[in-house]
C-alpha cells in the first residue's frame, strides 16, 4: 500500500482525535512487522511521514497521548529466544528531516557548551542494532535492542558467525560493552535472494530485513552462509578504561581490530555539519551497503553525560533522514514474466535514469491492482525512486504529460510462456500460471514437489533438478517416477553422478512413491492456496484426491480456512484438461491418492479441535497431530473462536496472542496427555 493511500484513508471523514488513534494503531502494526517479524509493509520514508503527523497531533494535543503511542516506545518487545536485561539502554535517535532542524540542533549544543563544542557526522547504517559485552577482553554476550530499555534477545551464537565480530580484544580491560549495526552488503543480499528464488523459497524485502531475520533465527550455519557484516558506532559502558571523547573510543577499538563506522567527519559549525551530511548523501550510491541517514552527535563524552537522555532519545545526537531521490522518465513498455513459482509479474521498462549513483531502467509493477491505482499506460511520464536506496519503484504518474491516444495498461489473461489461462491467487491480487507442465515454472514445481513438506525425496537437490530438466529427462513431475527406466542412460551421461549415487536417488524416489501419504502428494501439486495444512484438511474432509477433483465449489467452501478465491483456484486446477492428464498419470504410477485410515485408540478428544504452535518438547508437530487424531480429536491450522484448545510449545508466535484475545484455553503437551488419560 502506498503511503499517500494510507494517509488519505486515515483522514477521510475522521475527526483529528479519531485520526490520531488510527495512526497509533497503524504505526504499531507497521512497527511490529518491522521489528518483530522482519516483514515491513511500507518503506521507512512512508513510515516517517505518518510518524511525523502523529508527533504533530501529540504536540497540539498532549492530553491525547496514549500509553502505547510510538512516541514513547523505543523498539519492540523482544519475543524470541533467551531474553537478556540491558545494562545500558539501547535508545533510538531523534529523526530530523530538514536543514533548519540540523542547524537548530547544532546551535543549541553550541549555546550549551560554547564554540569549542565538537560534532561528529557519520553514516547511519540501515541494519539491526546489537550490543557486544566483553569481559577481560573475551566476548561473552551479544544482545539485540529488543524494546531498547529493558531487554533484548541473546544472539551470541549467531554473532560469533559474523567475521567482523572480534572474539578476543588485543588490549583486554575488565569490562566493555560496545554497540553496532549488523547489516548485509548488497552483494551478499542479492546472493541470498537468488538462492531463495532458485529453491522456491520466500525472498527478503531488503538487506536490513534479511540481516535481522538471519541474526534472530536458530541455525548458526545459515548465519555463517549469509555473510552478515558489522560496524560498531558506540562504546556503551566500560570498567578499567576511560575515554574523554567518542573518537578516543574509536581509536581503542581500531587498535583491537574492531571495525568502526566509516566516513566519520569532525565538525565545529553548523555549516560544516551540513556539508558533511551532504557529502555522505552524495556517496550513497557508491557504498556497498545501505544507509538510511546521517548521524550528528557530540564528540565530548562529559558533555553527553551532562545532557543525558529523554525516555526515548539521547539529547546529544540526532539522525538526519535523507529524502528519497525522485526522477522523471518515460514508460516505454511493460514486460510480463512468469516466475519460478508461477506468479506472473509485470515489470515497467522506462528510459534509463540515474538514482543513488546507479542507472536504472526497470521496476516491478507488482500486479494489475497496483497498475490501476497508478492509472498507468504505455508512454506515460512517471516518477521513479529507490526504496531503501536500492530497489527501484514507481511513485506516481505525471498525468498532465500523457501522450495522445493514451490507454490504460491491462495485463494479459494468459501465461506469456505457455499460453495457459492465468488464475487469480489466494490473496486476490496476483495471477499465477497453474499449468503443471509450464516450462517457466518447471524447476520450481519439481523443487516444491520433492521437498520435505511434500514427497520428501532424500538427496533430490536443486542441482540434480536443473540437470534433469535441462537435459529433458523431467518435463513434468510425473517424469520423476519414470527415471528408473533411464538408469543406464543417466549413469552413462553422469547426470546424477556414478552408479552408486544414481541408484541411491532412484531408491529414494521409489520409497517416497510408496510411503508418502495423499495429503503430501496433494501439497506437492502447487495448487494456489493449498499448502501443507490445507492439503491435510482437504484429504481429511474428502478422503482422496479423486474426491476433491469431483467436488463442487460449494463443497470446497465447507473446508476450514478455504475461502471463495481458494475454492475457485482448487476447482479450476482439477478441471484443467492438462492437469487431469497429469494426475491420471501420477495415479497410474502408484502414488497414494487416498488417506490411510488410522486406528483410533480412544475417544477422549472426540469433538475437540486443537491448534498447535511453537516447538513441543520430545514430540514433533506431526506426531502430536497423529496423537490427537488417534484419540478422536481434530488438528486445525489456525485459531478461531471454535478452537477447543491451543497446544503450545516453546517459541510460540502470534497464535498465542490470538488465543488469549479469543479466550481459547492454552495447554502444554503434558496437559494434552492428561486430557487423554482422563478421557
Q: Is position 124 annotated as part of the catalytic site? A: yes
Maximum CA pair distance of the chain?
Answer: 87
Grouping H, G, I as helix, E, B as strand and the rest as coil, residue 503 is helix
CB 77 within 8 A of CB 275: no
Q: Helix, strand, coil shares of the chain as percentages rounded to 5?
A: 40, 20, 40
CB 167 within 8 A of CB 160: yes
How far out from the chain centre does Cα 157 lie? 21
Q: How many residues in total does the chain contain?
A: 679
Rounded CA-CA distance 512/454 in Å is: 10
How far out from the chain centre does Cα 283 lie? 27
CB 178 within 8 A of CB 165: no
Taking the CA atoms of 475, 479, 485 and 490 in sequence, report the sign of the dihedral they define: positive
Grid coordinates belonging to 577: 484438461
Q: Beginning with the edge strand found earlier in the chain, give each strand of the sheet holding 317-320 in spatial order.
A: 94-96, 317-320, 291-298, 119-125, 265-267
Grid coordinates belonging to 100: 533548519
Rounded CA-CA distance 298/327 in Å is: 35
Burial 159-195 (b: 16+ CB within 10 A, else e): bebbebbbeebeebbebbbbbbbbbbbeebbeebbee
CB 374 within 8 A of CB 394: yes
HEC string for 343-364:
EEEEEEEEEEEEECCEEEEEEE
Neighbours of 574 (CB within 10 A): 19
DSSP letter for 132, please: E
Backbone angles phi, psi at 241, to 5 degrees: -150, 145
Q: Beginning with the edge strand found earlier in the chain, give each strand of the sheet holding 609-613 in spatial order.
A: 634-636, 609-613, 645-648, 666-667
CB 179 within 8 A of CB 1: no
Point out which residues pair with 294 in neighbouring strands: 123, 320
Q: What angle do CA 290, 292, 296 make, to 5 degrees?
A: 125
Grid coordinates belonging to 138: 573475551
Taking the CA atoms of 335, 337, 343 and 349 in sequence, report the sign of the dihedral they define: negative
Rounded CA-CA distance 261/233 in Å is: 6
Grouping H, G, I as helix, E, B as strand and the rest as coil, residue 336 is strand
Which residue in 25, 111, 124, 475 is the catalytic one? 124
Residue with cell 506515460: 380
Q: How many CA atoms lie within 13 A of 433 on its CB side?
A: 29
**Residues recognised as catalytic:** 124
Amino acid at each position: 500500500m502506498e503511503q499517500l493511500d494510507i494517509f488519505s484513508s486515515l483522514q477521510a471523514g475522521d475527526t483529528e482525535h479519531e485520526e490520531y488513534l488510527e495512526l497509533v494503531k497503524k504505526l504499531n502494526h507497521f512497527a511490529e512487522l518491522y521489528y518483530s517479524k522482519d516483514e515491513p509493509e511500507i518503506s521507512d520514508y512512508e513510515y516517517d511521514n505518518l510518524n511525523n503527523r502523529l508527533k504533530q497531533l501529540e504536540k497540539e494535543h498532549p492530553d491525547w497521548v496514549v500509553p502505547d503511542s510510538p512516541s514513547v516506545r523505543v523498539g519492540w518487545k523482544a519475543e524470541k529466544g533467551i531474553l537478556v536485561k540491558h545494562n545500558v539502554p539501547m535508545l533510538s535517535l531523534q529523526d530530523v528531516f530538514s536543514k533548519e532542524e540540523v542547524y537548530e540542533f547544532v546551535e543549541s549544543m553550541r549555546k550549551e557548551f560554547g564554540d569549542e563544542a565538537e560534532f561528529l557526522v557519520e553514516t547511519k547504517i540501515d541494519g539491526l542494532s546489537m550490543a557486544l559485552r566483553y569481559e577481560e577482553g573475551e566476548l561473552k554476550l551479544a544482545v539485540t535492542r529488543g524494546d531498547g530499555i529493558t531487554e533484548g534477545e541473546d544472539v551470541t551464537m549467531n554473532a560469533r558467525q559474523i567475521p567482523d565480530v572480534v572474539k578476543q580484544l588485543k588490549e583486554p580491560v575488565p569490562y566493555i560493552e560496545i554497540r553496532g549495526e549488523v547489516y548485509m552488503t548488497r552483494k551478499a543480499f542479492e546472493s541470498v535472494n537468488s538462492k531463495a528464488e532458485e529453491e522456491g523459497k520466500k525472498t527478503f524485502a531488503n538487506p536490513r530485513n534479511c540481516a535481522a531475520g538471519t541474526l534472530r533465527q536458530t541455525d548458526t550455519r545459515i548465519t555463517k552462509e549469509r555473510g552478515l557484516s558489522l560496524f560498531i558506532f558506540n562504546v556503551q559502558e566500560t570498567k578499567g578504561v576511560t575515554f574523554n571523547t567518542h573518537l578516543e573510543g574509536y581509536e581503542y577499538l581500531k587498535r583491537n581490530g574492531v571495525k568502526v563506522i566509516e566516513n566519520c567527519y569532525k565538525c565545529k559549525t553548523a555549516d560544516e555539519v551540513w556539508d558533511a551530511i551532504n557529502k555522505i548523501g552524495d556517496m550513497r550510491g557508491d557504498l556497498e551497503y545501505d544507509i538510511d541517514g546521517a548521524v550528528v552527535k557530540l564528540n565530548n563524552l562529559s558533555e553527553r553525560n551532562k545532557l543525558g537522555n529523554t525516555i526515548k532519545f539521547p539529547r546529544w545526537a540526532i539522525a538526519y533522514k535523507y529524502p528519497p531521490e525522485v526522477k522523471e522518465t518515460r514508460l516505454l513498455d511493460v514486460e510480463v514474466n512468469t516466475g519460478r513459482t508461477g506468479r506472473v509479474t509485470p515489470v515497467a521498462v522506462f528510459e534509463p535514469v540515474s538514482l543513488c549513483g546507479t542507472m536504472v531502467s526497470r521496476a516491478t509493477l507488482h500486479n494489475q491492482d497496483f497498475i490501476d491505482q497508478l492509472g498507468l499506460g504505455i508512454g506515460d511520464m512517471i516518477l521513479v525512486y529507490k526504496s531503501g536506496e536500492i530497489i527501484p519503484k514507481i511513485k506516481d504518474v505525471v498525468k498532465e504529460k500523457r501522450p495522445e491516444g493514451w490507454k490504460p495498461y491491462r495485463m494479459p489473461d494468459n501465461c506469456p510462456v505457455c499460453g495457459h489461462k492465468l488464475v487469480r491467487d489466494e490473496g486476490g491480487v496476483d495471477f499465477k500460471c497453474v499449468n503443471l507442465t509450464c516450462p517457466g515454472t518447471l524447476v520450481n514445481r519439481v523443487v516444491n514437489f520433492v521437498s520435505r513438506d511434500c514427497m520428501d525425496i532424500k538427496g533430490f537437490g536443486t542441482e540434480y533438478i536443473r540437470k534433469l530438466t535441462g537435459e529433458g529427462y523431467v518435463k513434468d513431475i510425473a517424469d520423476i517416477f519414470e527415471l528408473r527406466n533411464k538408469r543406464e542412460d543417466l549413469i552413462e551421461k553422469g547426470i546424477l553422478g556414478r552408479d552408486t549415487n544414481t541408484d541411491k536417488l532412484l531408491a529414494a524416489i521409489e520409497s517416497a512413491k510408496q510411503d508418502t501419504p495423499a495429503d503430501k502428494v496433494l501439497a506437492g501439486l502447487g495448487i494456489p492456496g493449498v499448502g501443507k495444512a490445507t492439503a491435510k484438511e482437504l484429504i481429511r474432509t474428502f478422503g482422496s484426491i479423486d474426491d476433491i477433483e469431483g467436488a463442487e465449489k460449494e463443497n470446497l467452501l465447507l473446508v476450514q480456512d478455504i475461502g471463495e478465491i481458494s475454492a475457485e483456484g482448487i476447482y479450476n486446477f482439477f478441471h484443467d484438461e492438462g492437469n487431469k492428464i497429469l494426475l491420471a498419470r501420477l495415479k497410474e504410477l502408484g502414488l497414494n491418492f487416498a488417506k490411510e485410515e488410522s486406528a483410533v485408540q480412544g475417544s477422549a478428544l472426540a469433538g475437540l479441535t486443537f491448534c498447535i504452535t511453537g516447538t513441543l518438547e520430545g514430540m514433533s508437530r506431526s506426531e502430536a497431530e497423529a496423537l490427537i487424531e488417534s484419540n478422536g480429536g481434530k488438528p486445525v491450522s489456525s485459531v478461531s473462536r471454535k478452537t477447543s484448545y491451543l497446544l503450545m510449545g516453546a517459541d510460540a508466535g502470534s497464535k498465542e496472542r490470538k488465543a488469549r484475545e479469543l479466550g481459547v484455553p492454552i495447554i502444554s503437551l503434558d496437559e494434552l496427555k492428561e486430557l487423554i488419560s482422563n478421557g
